[in-house]
Amino acid sequence: MIQEVILSVLQWLYNNLAFHNLFVAILLLTLAVRVVLFPLFYKSSKDQLVMRELSPKMEEIKTLYKDDRQKQAEELMRLYKEHKLNPLSGILILVVQLPIFIALFKVFRDSELLTSLFGDGSMFLGANLALPSIVVSIVAAALQYVSGRMTEPGSKSGGSMAKFGKMMLYMMPFLTLFILLKLPAALGVYWAVSTAFSIGQTLVIKRRLAYSKSRNGNAGVTQGDGGTYPPHGV
C-alpha cells in the first residue's frame, strides 16, 4: 500500500514538478516527507540537543545511584519529566521512517521498472539511480557524520552517555556507507537529502535555544518546551 502511494507520488512529481528528472523528484519527495513529519522531527531534534546539555546532570544521577538501579531510573525519569523530554523520540522517528524507507527500496530495487517508468530521467550525472553509487553513499555518510556531530552528547562529562555518543558518531556514518553501497543510489539520495534537512533543522533549533538562553539572562539551559532550567549544580 505505502509502496503504491509513494510510486504514484513520485510519478506525479516526476511528470509535473521535477522536469522529468528522477533525482529532482526524489528530492521533492524527501522534502514532502520531512514537511509532513516536521513536528516529530522537530521535537526529536530539540530533545536531543537539550539532553546533550543535561548529560552532566544525568551522569551525576547515575554515579550517585549506581548501586540502586530503580532509584537511578526514577531520578532520570523525573529529570526527563521536569524538562519535558522524551528519551525515546529518536527511536520513534526511526520507526516512522522505516516503512517509508522499505517502500522506497521496493520501488527502486527494480532497475527495469525504473527505466520503463522514467526512461533516461533515472540517470543523474552519468549515474543510474537504480544502481548503487559510491559517490552518493559517501556523501550520505559524510552528512550523517555532520548530523551526529551536532547532536553528540557533551564530552566534558566523560560519562557513559558521552562514550556511547562518541562511538555512535563514527559507527553511524560507517553503517550508512556500508548499507547504501548495497542499495540503489535513489535510496542514498533520499538518505542524504533527509540528513541535510536534519542538519538545517538542528542549526535553526540551536539558534532558537541560544536566543532563549540569552533572553533569560543565560540563567540556565533551555527546556524541551522552550523554557529554561537551572544550571548544573543548582
In a domain, residue 101? The reply is: yes
Q: 200 is written with which cell numbers?
A: 538545517
Q: How confident is the model at residue 118 (pLDDT cuts 50, 70, 90)?
A: confident
Inside any domain, residue 187: yes
From 232, 216, 234, 226, select the one nearest 85 (Cα to Cα).
Answer: 226
pTM: 0.78
Q: What's the confidence (pLDDT) of residue 138? A: 97
Mean pLDDT of 60-74: 92
Taking residues 164-191, what's their average pLDDT? 90
Give the mean model confidence (pLDDT) for residues 24-29.
Answer: 95
Mean pLDDT of 36-59: 85
The pLDDT, as a whole number, for residue 226 is 45
Q: Is residue 176 part of a domain?
A: yes
Half-sphere exposure (CA, 13 Å, Cβ side) for 100? Answer: 19
Q: What is the pLDDT of residue 153?
A: 61
Tell me which amino acid residue 223 is. Answer: Q
- Report the alpha-carbon distance of residue 139 to residue 193 in Å, rounded: 10
Selected residue with higher pLDDT from 166 and 131:
131
Q: 225 pLDDT exceeds 60?
A: no
Write down the pLDDT at residue 229: 35
φ/ψ region of 127 (left if φ > 0, alpha if ψ in -120 to 50, else beta) reads beta
Which cell numbers hold the place of 23?
533525482
Q: What is the mean pLDDT of the chain?
A: 83
Q: Note whether residue 73 is domain-resident.
A: no
**Residue 69: inside a domain:** no
CA distances from 166 to 43, 53, 152, 203 (A): 22, 15, 7, 20
Query: Within 65-159, where are the H helices?
Result: 69-82, 89-108, 111-118, 134-151
Q: Does the residue 226 lie in any domain?
A: no
The confidence score (pLDDT) of residue 75 equals 94
Domain span including residue 171: 2-55+87-217
**CB contact at 8 A, 224 and 85:** yes
pLDDT at 232: 35
Question: Quick one: which of 42, 41, 33 has its CA closest to 104?
Answer: 33
Q: How many domains in the chain?
A: 1
The answer to whether 48 and 146 have CB atoms below 8 angstroms apart is no
- Are 129 and 186 in contact by the 8 Å Cβ rule? The answer is yes
Reply yes or no on whether the pLDDT at 223 is more than 70: no
